[in-house]
Amino acid sequence: MAGSWLLDARGRHLGPGALDQITTVHGVLHEIGAGSVRELLVLNKIDVAPPESVLALQRVHPDAVAVSAVTGAGINDLRAALAARLARR
């Protein structure tokens, strides 16, 4: 089983706030018995996020996929990541 979730990559959620949000999601997944489920972290709104902040999140979470629903940036990477995970099922 695999899951994916979305993190708003705009400035107000970056830095410690973004890492806190990721930690909270992991805690909730563990509480509901889904702690071992593979996940795909998607960093959304990269069109309005400071590039250095997106890069910092990607350094901490190298498998995260950065996308912009507005511009379409990263959508092909997201499709490929999802297809690869589905193929492993």
Fold of the domain spanning 2-87: Rossmann fold (3.40.50)
- Give the domain ranges of the chain: 2-87
Q: Is the pLDDT of residue 83 over 90?
A: yes
* Residue-wise pLDDT tens digits, 13-71: 555 577 778 888 889 989 999 888 888 889 888 998 888 888 888 998 899 999 999 99
Task: For residue 5, name the pLDDT band (cuts at 50, 70, 90).
Answer: low
Rounded to two decimals, the pTM is 0.76
Strand order of the sheet with strand 2-8? 2-8, 38-44, 65-66
Q: Which of 89, 78, 88 is nearest to 5 (CA)?
A: 78
More confident residue, 14 or 9: 9
pLDDT at 1: 39
